Structure 1
Amino acid sequence: MAKITAVIDIGSNSARMVIYEKTSRFAFHLLHEVKSRVRLPENAYKNGGNLQSEAMQRTYDALENFLSIASSFKARKILCVATSALRDAPNKQEFISRVRTGLKLNIKVIDGEKEALYGAIACSNLLPKADALTIDIGGGSTEFSYIINGKVENTLSLALGTVRLKELYFDKNDIEGARAYINQELDKLSDIQISNLIGIGGTFRALSRAIMKDLKYPLNKLHSFEFSAKTMSSFIDKIMNANERKLKSLNIRPDRFDVIKPGSLIISELLKRKSDIDNLITSGVGVREGVYLSDLLRGQKDSGFPANFNPSVRYLLDSYIIDKNHSNHLAKLSKSIFDLTYESYDIDEKYKKALVIGAKLSPIGASLHNYSSNQHSYYLIQTALEYGFTHQEIILIATLTKYAKRKAPATAHITEYKNILPDERVAEFLSFIISLSSALLAHRPRDLKYEIGFSGNCLHVSSKENLYLVKDAVKNLEFPQGIRVEFK
């Protein structure tokens, strides 16, 4: 697969392009993202579904600029898909041929089932594992799929979309007509009981972003943001009764004013029908990422990453770890100390995953600058540890790296993230383990030659190596109450 790949998604509301760079076989990161609100099917639904010349020109111009951007990044592969805006249009071939001739770009028009599949592939690989119903609200259609035990099942595309509903019902102020049409389409959805709803697409992200601001949520990260169905339903009630001035005060962007109500009504009616759904998860990924992953992971069983592989962790290791041996030593020592002590200090074993990843990633900031390296590590992890983690895991891992080799996490920091961090005692204990592991490696050994035991609240450390710097580093640590370290 090409090292740098551009993926273009021509939707009904917007055309978008993402550019990804591989850092190793399955690791990648986002280099660039751009979108244009082209509204390709604007006025089409009033004209027999035919695309109108002005909308086609807007989209053509956007694609021309996209290709220029892709060229500037030296993208070796460009994948372009189009969804309901083109597949529903009787005159779609006119636009496809024009783009092929004028821009040398081949557009692949995908059907609704494929669109649903791509979105679900992105969610099943790039969100924390959970059985869920996915919903992807577009301008012309809405796609659904079920993710069960990590596999995509029951994909479905319905003729529901924000632009479609706007032009057919909302522009005529026929809200009840829109409601009846939505429910007629939702009758086709499989009646599988499930508690999680994953939201894909601009409408769901716009609502989630506004709810984050309303809740004064402490972490500025939309992907993997979780909240209750009750919160969404209450917020949608405000949206449906709001004028443009009120929509702005609810933190809805002006470019969403005309389509936020149709999209909100789809979600509202779905939640009324699916009363078993109580937890909502926001996805920052969708069709584009699904197209990219299908290419990246072709040949992999079930289109998934290898076992115990995370693309964000591997990207950070590939890009920012100078001494991989040292990073691995930190992870191994931290795991060993945790295994020896967690039961005695009543620490849930579930925190071991975050601890080991935090230990392995803690040196990444040093590659930017030695001074303030912990702060650099903290920032990189908080922003770039994007895929496959809950917000609780991300902020915990970032916190552990921020305070590695330092004092215990500051009370002000714990308070700021109190709703998504474990209690102060747990954060302090885990942070100490990484700090102790860093101190035990102060002499930067090439091989681990430690024997560590634990009894009576004391860690017994023995080694035949010269540990002068190690002992000095351990003396400067801030110990949790009751823990001691003795050298033999």
Structure 2
Amino acid sequence: MAKRVAVIDIGSNSVRMVIYEKTSRFAFHLVYEEKSKVRISENAYGNNGELQEIPMQRTFDALRNFIQIAESFKTRKTLCVATSALRDAPNKQEFLTKVRNKLKLNIKIISGEKEAYFGAIACANLLPIQKKALSIDIGGGSTELAYIDHKNVSHTTSLKLGTVRLKELYFDSKDINGAIEYIDSQLKNIPPQKIETLIGIGGTFRAISSAIMYQSNYPLNKIHAYSYGVKVFSKYIDKVLSSDQCKLKNLCIEENRYDVIKPGTLILQRILKKLDINNIVTSGVGVREGVYLADLLRNSKDKFPHNYNTSVRYILDAHVDDKYFSNQLALLSKKIFDLTSDYFHIDTKYRYNLAIAAKLYPAGRSIHFYSQNKHTYYLIQSALEYGFSHKDIMLIATLTRYAKNKLPSKTHLDKYKELLPQANITKTLSYLLSLSIILLSHRPRNIDFFMRFEDGTLFITSSNNLYLAKDALDKLRCEHGEFKVIFDS
């Protein structure tokens, strides 16, 4: 049976639990998620950080339910961490002891630097490769920062900035100037490296990005790895800060965030004034994923192996029975790409996307044979979660949707225009995947033909008559009328 692990994160604003299931050594997927807005830090910052009785009881009750849920999933172990609110509370031991004695749950209070590290390794491992980036996780009581360059994490920093903290100390008394002065004093501790990209972790950032995504009619419903320009981001947060509750609704901010969205947004506005940032990337992962990865990857320096992608591996584990054919198809598609890419004037960066599309193409068959392409398409859109940009995901999904049947439709290409390459490139890649599938119609044990490409013609030489491939190829159309496939005897 696959191993399941629960991770609980006790923050100043919310307590959250995720349950992950391993499908192979480094492959995993989310099987359950729950959160409760317990506000354990409520009224603490005005009382020298002392946790108050009612918020502590709310948190205890939520944890009791979380443990029951984890037991129902037969989790192998539960990792529970607490951040700023408990870290700063003089009376934290009272809460820790009660939870340990009555719920048999050991809570590990992590330092601010460790919290920043967990969030950053989640981003470094589960986002597309980031260069010269700063991760920022705005919580209820603190804000964590880390420098990310490729897969490397450094300069982890924790600041005493948080939405609930700022609300209670400044916003409730309408002392906005005091809040700005306090934020700016804390931001002096930002890592000194050159920062080009801001990676946003946590509820405040996701709320802003979700609203921007909705208002721009973005074609893909996926917040993780959603990226956009800093000008759009800056303009939107200025609107948030100048809006009353009615206008916040018009800006697509959820009602349960009305009281804390402005403190978090003000932190972001002051950061933009301090740093020369070009790109915004939204992370759907954070501390919980980092805690899980630190446990999963503890023997590999908190990094996945080179050229390993956990989402690809999960889809293969869960949905592809014939992995030999899947690998054959990926290998053949790369060979055909290498032979023809110069002729079609296709950038070599698309070779990887084509190979992943080929490898995952059979996945939808596990759901329903006659609608394989449709199900593979939706699986990739939703489950190809980690390590890919939205452009990568959309191209890979598109190639599998139209594989072997026809070229991508104009309607589809128009709908996803901002995420797909030029139409001629998408159609050509689609044709190459379809051609690869057709050439393996007879399911050989090994690829039993040779290929050479000359003057716009792909010559296929085989001792097998490849009847099924020839028949299917007659029904497949290529955009390049001068491109031919000829079977040699």
TM range (shorter): over 0.9
Q: How do residues 144-163 of structure 1 correspond to structure 2 at under 5 angstroms?
A: 144-163=145-164
SS at match of 1:322: coil
Cross-structure match for 1:464:
463
Cross-structure match for 1:134:
135
- State the distance in 2 between where 1:65 and 1:289 align: 21
Matched, 1:475 2:471: no
- State the distance in 2 between where 1:208 and 1:89 align: 32
Q: Deviations over 1:55-112 (max 9, x none)?
A: 0011011111111111111101100000001000000000010100111000000010
- State the distance in 1 between where 2:18 and 2:272 align: 31
Cross-structure match for 1:269:
270
Cross-structure match for 2:69:
69
| Bigger mean CA deviation after superposition, 161-170 or 435-444 | 435-444
Cross-structure match for 1:224:
225
Q: Deviations over 1:360-392 (max 9, x none)?
A: 101100111111110000000000000000000
Structure 2 counterpart of 1:233, one-letter code: S
Q: How do residues 59-138 of structure 1 correspond to structure 2 at under 5 angstroms?
A: 59-131=59-131, 132-138=133-139
C-alpha RMSD of the superposition: 1.0
Conserved 8 A contact 1:5-1:20: yes
Cross-structure match for 2:48:
48
- State the distance in 1 between where 2:393 and 2:384 align: 7
Structure 1 counterpart of 2:49, one-letter code: G
Conserved 8 A contact 1:381-1:398: yes
Conserved 8 A contact 1:162-1:259: yes
Q: How do residues 392-471 of structure 1 correspond to structure 2 at under 5 angstroms?
A: 392-471=391-470
Indicate the percent of aligned positions where both proteins have the same amino acid.
Answer: 59
Q: How do residues 124-273 of structure 1 correspond to structure 2 at under 5 angstroms?
A: 124-131=124-131, 132-273=133-274
SS at match of 2:344: coil
- State the distance in 2 between where 1:453 and 1:192 align: 50
C-alpha displacement at 1:466, in angstroms? 3.5
C-alpha displacement at 1:2, in angstroms? 7.5
Conserved 8 A contact 2:358-2:433: yes
TM-score (norm 2): 0.98
Q: Deviations over 1:312-357 (max 9, x none)?
A: 0000001101211111111011000000000111111110110000
Structure 2 counterpart of 1:386, one-letter code: E
C-alpha displacement at 1:467, in angstroms? 1.1
C-alpha displacement at 1:398, in angstroms? 0.3
Conserved 8 A contact 1:22-1:29: yes
- State the distance in 2 between where 1:438 and 1:367 align: 18
C-alpha displacement at 1:303, in angstroms? 1.3
Cross-structure match for 1:356:
355
Structure 2 counterpart of 1:252, one-letter code: I
Q: Number of aligned pairs? A: 486
Structure 2 counterpart of 1:433, one-letter code: L
- Distance change >3 Å, CA 96–CA 2, structure 1 → 2: farther
C-alpha displacement at 1:465, in angstroms? 1.6
Structure 2 counterpart of 1:35, one-letter code: K
Cross-structure match for 2:375:
376
Runs of 4+ residues over 2 Å off in structure 1: none
Consecutive unaligned residues of structure 1, counting only runs of 5 or more, are none
- State the distance in 2 between where 1:228 and 1:469 align: 49
Cross-structure match for 1:39:
39
- State the distance in 2 between where 1:214 and 1:38 align: 30
- State the distance in 1 between where 2:268 and 2:371 align: 45
C-alpha displacement at 1:245, in angstroms? 1.4
- State the distance in 1 between where 2:294 and 2:283 align: 18
Consecutive unaligned residues of structure 2, counting only runs of 5 or more, are none
- State the distance in 2 between where 1:236 and 1:336 align: 48
SS at match of 2:47: coil
